[in-house]
């Protein structure tokens, strides 16, 4: 691990042990919600409690944040309460983090996870993918009418197929605290 990241962790630990609420360190994990849009309307989603602007996060601003945190932080989640694959810049965002030595985690409802996007995610260097389902049967999932749910296992195997075509590139070992997915 980079010396600057170790120092950042020590600053965080020191602030914790001293009970300080203000710290002069960077967060280990940074969440940047890359879009306010979603193609589903799940009844349990906190999006139902407020209006989300149908906008994507600006790529240049994303890069500036990554430039600022790259030496101290360790993990970036380029998603929040929205479907991250709706933002066409998501692959560039992941690539930028990868080039900065930051571990990336993406969570998707998988409705847009076709073979092409799977390949692009792998080529961008995504480290950890969470596929979020409400349940395993159609009856347990609630989707908006414009969303197509794919039922066949073959269609859901696009990611593993993409891995084969990109040379079987594996996933990096996650830093501590990465969600199990």
The radius of gyration computed from the CA coordinates of the chain, to the nearest angstrom, equals: 18
The rounded distance, in Å, linking the Cα atoms of 45 and 123 is: 31
Binding mask 83-122 for ligand SF4 (x = CB under 6 A): x-------------------------x-------------
What is the DSSP annotation of 113-159? --HHHHHHHHHHT--EEEE--S-SSGGG----TTPPPP--HHHHTHH
Helices 90-99 and 59-69, packing angle to 10 deg: 20
The angle at the Cα of 174, spanning 136 to 81, to the nearest 5 degrees, equals: 50
Q: Which of 81, 100, 130, 147 binds ligand SF4 (CB under 6 A)?
A: 81
Closest by CA to 107, choosing from 78, 146, 86, 135, is 78
Would you say 15 or 42 has its CB closer to ligand SF4?
A: 42
Q: Is the dihedral of CA 63, 68, 74, 75 positive or negative?
A: negative
Q: Which of 12, 15, 28, 45 binds ligand SF4 (CB under 6 A)?
A: 45
Q: How far is the CB of 160 from ligand SF4 (least distance, A)?
A: 22
Find out whether 131 and 178 touch, Cβ atoms under 8 Å.
no
Would you say 74 or 83 has its CB closer to ligand SF4?
A: 83
Would you say 75 or 86 has its CB closer to ligand SF4?
A: 86
Q: Which of 36, 78, 82, 125 binds ligand SF4 (CB under 6 A)?
A: 82
Q: Which of 1, 10, 31, 41 binds ligand SF4 (CB under 6 A)?
A: 41
With binding defined as CB under 6 A, does residue 47 bind ligand SF4?
yes
Find out whether 26 and 6 touch, Cβ atoms under 8 Å.
no
| Number of residues engaging ligand SF4 in binding (CB under 6 A) | 10
Would you say 83 or 89 has its CB closer to ligand SF4?
A: 83
Task: By CB under 6 A, name the binding residues for ligand SF4.
Answer: 38, 40-42, 45, 47, 81-83, 109
């Amino acid at each position: 691990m980079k010396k600057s990241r170790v120092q950042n962790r020590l600053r965080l630990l020191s602030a914790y042990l001293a009970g300080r609420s203000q710290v002069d360190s960077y967060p280990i994990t940074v969440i940047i919600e890359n879009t306010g849009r979603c193609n589903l309307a799940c009844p349990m989603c906190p999006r139902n409690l407020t209006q989300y602007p149908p906008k994507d996060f600006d790529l240049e601003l994303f890069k500036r944040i990554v430039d600022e945190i790259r030496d101290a932080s360790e993990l970036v989640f380029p998603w929040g309460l929205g479907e991250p694959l709706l933002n066409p810049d998501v692959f560039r965002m992941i690539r930028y983090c990868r080039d900065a030595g930051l571990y990336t985690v993406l969570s998707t409802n998988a409705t847009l996870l076709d073979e092409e996007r799977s390949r692009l995610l792998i080529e961008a260097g995504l480290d950890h993918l969470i596929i979020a389902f409400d349940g395993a049967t159609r009856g347990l999932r609630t989707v908006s009418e414009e969303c197509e749910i794919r039922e066949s296992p073959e269609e859901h195997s696009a990611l593993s197929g993409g891995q084969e075509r990109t040379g079987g590139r594996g996933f990096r070992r996650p830093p501590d605290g990465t969600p199990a997915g």
